[in-house]
Amino acid sequence: METNINFEPKIIAFVCNWCTYTGADLAGTSRLKYAHNVRIIKLPCTGRIDPLFIIKAFEKGADGVLVSGCHPGDCHYTSGNFHARRRWILFNQLLNFAGIDNRRVHFSWVSASEGRKWVDVINEVIETVRKARPFVGYSKMNKEYVYNE
Amino acid sequence: MYRIKKQDFSKIIDELIKTGNRIISYSNNGNDFKRINSSNELSINSNFKPSKLSLKEIVFPKTEPLFYYKRTNDNVELKDIKFDSEKTIIIGAKPCDAKAFSTISKVFNWDYKDNFFNSKYENTIIIGLKCDYKDEYCFCNEVGLSQSSKEGSDIFIELDGDDYFIYILSEKGKNLLQPFMSYLIEEIKESKVDDIDNIIDLNKVRTWITDNFDNNFWYSISQECLGCGKCAFICPTCHCFDIVDENYTYFEGRRMKNWDACQFGKFTLHASGHNPRDIQAKRYRQRIAHKFKYYFDKFDELLCTGCGRCSRECPVSINIFDVIKEINAK
Amino acid sequence: MNNLYNIAKDLFSTNKVDLIIGYKSIDSRRTKPIFVSSNEDVDHLVFNEYSLNNLSVYLTRKDIKKYNKIGILAKGCDIRAIVQLINENQIEREKILIISKKCNGVVKDFGLEYNEENIAEKCKSCKVRTPKVFDLMIDSEEEKKLPEPTISSRVNELDSMTPEERFEFWRNEFSKCIRCYACRQACPLCYCERCIVDKNIPDWIESSPTQRANFSWNLIRAFHLSGRCIGCGECERVCPVDIPLSLLNAKMGIVAFKEFNYATGMEIGEPTLVGNYSNEDNEDFIK
Amino acid sequence: MKIGVFVCHCGENIGKTVDCPRAAQESAKIPGVVISVDNKYTCSDPGQNMIKNAIKEYNLDGVVVASCSPHMHEKTFRKAVASVGMNPYMCEIANIREQCSWVHDDVEEATKKAIDLIRIAVEKVKRNFALTPIKVPVTKRALVIGGGISGIQSALDIANAGYEVVLVEKEPSIGGHMSQLSETFPTLDCSQCILTPRMVEVYQHPKIKLLTYSEVEKVEGFIGNFKVTIKKKPRYVDETKCTGCGLCTQKCPIKKAPNEFEQGMIKRTAIYVPFPQAVPNIPVIDNTVCTYFRTGKCQMCVKVCGKEAIDFNQKERFVVEEVGAIIVATGYSLYKIDKKPKDSPIKGYGEYGYGIYPDVIDGLQFERLASASGPTAGEIKRPSDKKEPKKVVFIQCVGSRDESKGFSYCSKICCMYTAKHAMLYKHKVHDGEAYVFYMDIRSGGKMYEEFVRRAIEEDDVKYIRGRVSRIYEDGGKYIVKGEDTIAGIPVEIDADMVVLATAIVAQNDSKKLAQTIGIPYDKYGFLNEVHPKLRPVESSTAGVYLAGACQAPRDIPESVAMASAAASKALVLFGSDMLEREPTIAKVNESTCAGCFYCQKVCAYNAIEKKEIKDRNGNFVKYVAYVNPGLCQGCGTCNATCPSKSVELIGYTDEQIFAEINALATL
């Protein structure tokens, strides 16, 4: 087996400013601990999160992607997360059909008060991606970008 | 001219594979071509219709890196491409495909010598095959070629029962077969000249194009054109390319050379937003004029070998030969 | 008699159209698009099982939009594209005069003989062989039974693979892509003035036909067509390297139907799938 | 681009887990970074001065502060850079405390993460634009929709501050539900006595333009610049001529229309004034019952009117008002339990016999029975036989707090008004018995609990905790079958009259109005505030404020408080000539926009408009989307939806996010 189950997956998280980002702040303020593998990119709203971001994250070497925002009905911008949800229903299944399955692409609602949930989500995502092993499919394609001496 | 038994030819191929050569042969009824690993995979068939994609990608790949770069805070480091020395031997190229190699080598060796092209072309040996295929889209005979044209081939094969007739046409061809001359039996054969029955007067076509740059004709023949790049990409002689930089990590990237097509609206789009070829008619005119006039004016060759791929595959059935016929009839 | 010739003649002589987009025969098994702007060329028009092109692709073109009233020959599937274009503010219903017929399927590609074996896959599962939206109907044969569709079983086949196998399958298929963009150009719903792949700051989708960029390109195109593709199959037909694009589009069609009970381009004025939402949208996959 | 990076230790908070000097060194290698330093407390004055000095010394174009969450100190640092002339939007925060040092233990990994987070911020700031707040002129004039107590309060507050107000009321008179009430809890003040002066004040106020019998038809524009079309329904009485003498209403021969104000308990004439204290005191003709409108004859009112004020030819008229703020105060309506609303999941309370038994009435009907100006002149009499009821049962929570048959919410005011009703009944019928069926008593409010206790202890109202299962008639009595859940026994009361505290529901046209204005509403039709705690009187559409029970069930003091709060929000807006708005809004690339208008569909703020593009010769080229900077709130949903990325969110452009992702790239 060329891959190691103990590898440290690289996760890129796209989160909304008002709920999940604030929830992640709360996890910090509460001094909760979670795995270090996640890098957050802050957007104003889940409505701003484009499928292109997810694709690009994989192109740039992510093993998994997390998208998170306000619970339905809590959107700071009224309906951004509803539109996002419909977009993800479609995109999630398309990705799955293309072989990028739900072990690598994760979605969650984390409110500003759910610091604990944020921690649980992160840890769960990291464990799932770890089990899925490095994204060999993409790294194969990425290989041609490496200079061949 | 030589005669060789088919099984002996296969032996040569196996030997060449063993010595590390890349052998390209047709598959899937001639629709595709691929690298083969044994002479068993060879298919030499003069009745194949031209493959869907042309052979040009062997010397002019759809995408290739030109160099790699690495940035630091105050410096950029460049890494050049090392060229592959592997020999590629194409077996059974149609006269229209074989000719295309020598045609486009002119543009890649005009004022600037394109090493990306040359490094591959120099290492490519083209074994042509007399063609017995003709359909309503073929018109090689109208562009100065024929089904038995040997232009562009290093070696040329004609089928004769269980044997092949082999013509050695170039130094490259000669060197390739040198170790295998024992399989070849020299034979003098009267070479038959194909009857060529031309209907197109290419001089007249060129003159008309020159005089009718703004003719409404260009609009009328291209109205249905969708503006895709299929014709250019499957064409054995279309050679336009685009150069783009790709940043693939934080500090590193590479410069790429990719196929491009004059039928794309973006092809001539300026940064200012102005587009000199703003409508499809102008782009289609460019395609015809480049193939039948500009290239000829510059290199004394047509940029078309009459393979008919573009017409055969056009999503909206535009037939380039019909267009030339129409111009000819004016 | 309501044959095509009479209808077209009548439309021009009563000034009901300025242009008819139709098909003309090249030979017995081929047609190509033709733009007829007067009575004189009407006799070129045909509408048969070799009328493959989805002519609605021309309706969004600037030079065509200049006409006040455009007649168009459209099969049931093509009409779905017209309806979707209307629903996406691209064309006005009043400007389009749809001439249709009952359809018994078309062939897979030009040059093939029309018989059971050669009927295009999309026709076998078509629900609008007798169109619902149209202006004029030409006399046509009644619907006859077509062979059973196989597309959903092909989708199921892929679904039953492991994700890694599916990824390899598509990586292989997409790696063939040469970026000629014939799929995009033949697609009636790909009417963007600047395709996302042509946007270079930033280059979300690299223009190089590398495996990775091809993967992204084909995936994003499929996403942009999710809930919008009407299944005319032109993308797959025109693809020079035979990427099974219909498989992707069919899958997304199935998803749209299963998740939202939505089928594209069936009714003028119907809310689009993307751009609207329901409080009840499925969120089982969201933590 | 010259970028400065400032890594904050935050004392031990960051420094203990993140190797700040190393993070600063690594950051210095990022292309574009010309200075990268670490610092004990960057938010302190010396820390801020360090940034300011570096900006001057290195001539920086952008600053990244790696410190606590941007929600903590982004404003602080932006202010600091602005003080030395840098555009505040050229400062970005890398959150290495809340989202790094505080949540990780491993120094090596936390440091790596901190460097990544700094890289993300550097790449973003390199692509930031210097932005200036958008300025929008403000029309200092308000529209108040609804002339109940909330609308009256808002209108008076704004008008008294010196700004013009347009007050729109759909009924012929202002006053709303409060004018129907007999007394108010917990003081038992006479409702009309305290309301009527306010109504008159509105009518006479030089700054208030009162449009009664009118409805809002269309709202265009955005905060500070609304254009509102108001439909004036025909009264058939010329308001400029009528003196309100009332002769026409006395002489009108049609006397059988149900009197809405009296909750249908008595009849009124075809030409009528809703109630004696109506403002304006101008009658209106009900053309559905008026003989003239039905047969073309009669014209009695025309004959008796000395002022020739009757005008049968009046048509709907539309007036357009330009205002800067809108206050919605459309109030509530009562749950009509006799009919199951069409297409509604609500099951209703058929078993209580409302609408079948004349003496099973709702709270507002009881208010009218108890009111001195009501149909019985304040004497409690059964509607059926006008006899004084000796035993009255009050049932609370009819439709409220009942997910299976009504609504899950609490209607909030019923506990109090039921106590008031029972008390009023006992005060008027000394030998009567009053029973109240309740679930819980919710009497939060100043003097509220004391009020309920008074009903129980001083006025001997019998409170039974439990629900009523059924009411049926038996020999002139209403048998109320219920349960006493404290005693655990079934209860049966032979009442003379039953009063149901039916749920407060949204006005039946509230959704339509919300759509007209472009503000959200909840599943019940109540209008939504933008933040339930901190912005309770603002809708999500800037410049539109909410007052009173249109937002949720409210009692009078709350409604008045909300109304004044909403008025003060409008006054804050009117306090400046130009309105400043966050510049992080969407912008359309008109040359690439194909006009599919998916952006318009997903915009929650109606901020996307259709714009016509013409060529040099004035010929139409195409329609493109246009973002109204006054309405856009910067969520970016349009940007993600646009297939060609022809609309971009400034501050979160595609280029920026791409660069942020790229900053994390590895192969």
User: Strand ranges (DSSP E) for chain A?
Assistant: 11-16, 38-43, 64-69, 105-109
Helix axes C245-260, C151-159, angle to 10 degrees: 90
Q: State how far residue C203 is from chain D, nearest Cα, in angstroms.
A: 8
Residue of B29, B220, B223, B284 to mutate, interface with C, max C Cβ within 10 Å: B223
> Which pLDDT value is given to residue A84?
94
pLDDT band at A74 (very low <50, low <70, confident <90, very high): confident
SS3 C206: coil
Contacts of D400 (CB under 8 A, 6+ apart): D406, D407, D409, D410, D411, D414, D501, D503, D504
CA–CA dist D436, D484 (Å, integer): 11
Provide the pLDDT for residue C142. Answer: 86
Give the per-residue pLDDT at A120.
Answer: 94
Q: Looking at residue D347, what is its pLDDT? A: 61
Range from C100-109, C266-275, D510-519, D643-652 carrying the lowest mean pLDDT: D510-519
Each residue of D345-361: pLDDT tens digit? 556 677 888 878 889 99
Give how far C153 is from chain B: nearest CA, Å.
Answer: 25
Q: What is the pLDDT of residue C212?
A: 92
Percent of chain C surpassing pLDDT 90: 78
Instruction: Please tell me the predicted confidence (pLDDT) of residue D344.
Output: 54
Cβ contact (<8 Å) for B73 and D31? Answer: yes
Across the A:C interface, residue pairs with CB atoms under 8 Å apart total 122
pLDDT tens-place string over residues D271-320 = 999 998 999 999 999 999 999 999 888 889 999 998 899 999 999 999 99
Smallest Cβ–Cβ distance between B254 and the set A142, A145, A149 belongs to A145
Percent of chain D with pLDDT over 90: 76
Contacts D644 to C, Cβ<8 Å: 192-196, 199
Chain center to CA of C243: 16
- Alpha-carbon B164 to chain mean position: 24
CA distance C276 to C269: 13
Neighbouring-strand partners of residue D332: D506
Alpha-carbon span B242 to B246, nearest angstrom: 13
The predicted-structure confidence for A41-50, as pLDDT tens digits, reads as follows 999 999 999 9
CB D407 within 8 A of CB D332: no
Half-sphere exposure of residue B255, counting CA atoms within 13 Å on the CB side? 13
Which pLDDT band holds residue B194 (cuts at 50, 70, 90)?
low
In chain A, residues 30-49 whose CB comes closer than 8 Å to chain D: 31-34, 36, 39-45, 47-49
The region of weakest confidence among C164-168, D355-359, D597-601 is D355-359
Inter-chain residue contact B73 with D29, CB threshold 8 Å: yes
Q: Which residues of A touch D110 (CB under 8 A)?
A: 36
Q: Is the pLDDT of residue C4 over 80?
A: yes
What was the pLDDT predicted at B48? 92
Residue B114 and residue B133: Cα distance in Å, rounded?
34
pLDDT tops 80 at residue D338 = no
| DSSP symbol at B185 | E
Mean pLDDT (whole number) for D9-24: 93
Cβ count near D632 (within 10 Å): 26
Q: How confident is the model at residue A2 (pLDDT cuts 50, 70, 90)?
A: very low
Distance from CA of A91 to the nearest CA of C (A): 6
What ipTM was assigned to the predicted interfaces of this complex?
0.92
For B119, phi then psi, to 5°, come to -60, -35
- Provide φ and ψ at C87, rounded to 5°: -65, -20
Classified as helix, coil or strand, C45 is strand
Please list the residues that pair with B274 across neighbouring strands.
Answer: none
Q: Residue D639 phi/psi, 5° resolution?
A: -60, -45
Q: Is the C-alpha dihedral spanning D92, D98, D99, D102 positive or negative?
A: positive
Residue D354 pLDDT: 83
For D532, nearest residue in chain A (alpha carbons): A74
B73/D663 CB distance under 8 A = no
A78, D520: Cβ pair inside 8 Å?
Answer: yes
Contact of C257 with chain A, judged by CB distance below 8 Å, is answered with no
Confidence band for D482, pLDDT divided at 50, 70 and 90: very high
User: What is the interface size between A and B, counted as CB pairs within 8 Å?
Assistant: 12
**CA angle C28-C29-C34, nearest 5°?**
85
Query: Cβ–Cβ of D591/B273 closer than 8 Å?
Result: yes
D69: CB partners within 8 A, 6+ apart: A25, A28, D93, D95, D97, D98, D99
d(CA B289, CA B268): 16
Please compute the mean of the pLDDT values over residues C169-183 and round it to a whole number: 95
Tokens for B67, please give them.
Answer: 């160099």
With CB atoms and an 8 Å threshold, state whether D633 touches A77. Answer: yes
CA distance A31 to chain D (A): 5
Q: Residue D152: its pLDDT value, please?
A: 97
Kindly list the residues from chain B whose CB atom is less than 8 angstroms away from the CB atom of residue A60: 248-249
Looking at residue D530, what is its pLDDT?
79
DSSP state of D145: E
What integer pLDDT is reported at residue A3 of this predicted model? Answer: 47
pLDDT at position D340: 53
* pLDDT at residue A148, as a whole number: 65
Question: What mean pLDDT do residues B306-330 have?
Answer: 93
B291-300, Cβ contacts within 8 angstroms, sequence gap of 24 or more: B291/B237, B292/B202, B292/B205, B292/B206, B292/B209, B292/B324, B293/B205, B293/B206, B293/B209, B293/B210, B295/B107, B296/B202, B296/B206, B297/B206, B298/B110, B299/B103, B299/B106, B299/B107, B299/B110
State how far the alpha carbon of D450 is from the alpha carbons of B200, C185, D420, D456, in Å: 109, 77, 12, 10
**Mean of per-residue pLDDT scores for chain D:** 92
pLDDT score at A136: 86
Q: What pLDDT score does C98 carry? A: 95
- Tell me what the pLDDT averaged over chain B comes to: 91
Token pair of B253, please? 């990237």
Please tell me which chains touch D, using 3 or more CB pairs under 8 Å as the contact test.
Answer: A, B, C
Residue A6, chain B, CB below 8 Å: the answer is no
- Give the pLDDT confidence of C196-230 residue by residue, as tens digits: 999 988 989 999 999 999 999 999 999 999 999 99
Handedness of CA D417, D419, D420, D424 (dihedral sign): positive
Query: Could you report the per-residue pLDDT of B71-106, keeping only the tens digit for each?
Result: 877 788 999 988 888 899 999 999 999 999 999 999
3-class DSSP assignment, residue D20: helix
Specify the pLDDT at position B289: 95
Cα-Cα end-to-end distance for chain A? 26
Best of D635, D653, D655, D666 to disrupt the A interface (most A CBs within 10 Å) is D635
CB distance C180–B232 less than 8 Å? Answer: yes
Please state the rounded mean pLDDT for residues C175-198: 94
Averaged pLDDT for residues D643-652: 94
Tell whether C32 is within 8 A of chain A (Cβ): no
pLDDT for the residue B273: 85
A2 SS3 class: coil
B321/B137 Cα distance (integer angstroms): 7
Q: Please report where in the chains the tokens 């969650």 appear, as a residue.
A: A108
The C-alpha atoms of residue D569 and residue D327 are separated, in whole angstroms, by 10
Q: Looking only at Cα atoms, what is the longest distance across chain A?
A: 55
Q: Mean of the pLDDT values across residues D533-541?
A: 87
What residues in B contact D119, CB-CB < 8 Å? 250
Least confident of C44-58, C111-125, D516-530, D579-593: D516-530
**What would the pLDDT profile of D360-391 be if each residue is shown by its tens digit?**
999 999 999 999 888 998 899 999 899 999 99
Radius of gyration of chain A (CA): 16
Q: Which residue has the higher pLDDT, C52 or B196?
A: C52
Which residue, chain included where needed, has tokens 């037909």? Answer: C237
Q: What is the pLDDT of residues D92-149, one digit of tens each?
A: 999 999 999 999 999 999 999 999 999 999 999 999 999 998 888 899 999 999 999 9
**Percentage of the residues of chain D whose pLDDT score is greater than 70:** 98
Q: Which residues of A touch D528 (CB under 8 A)?
A: 78
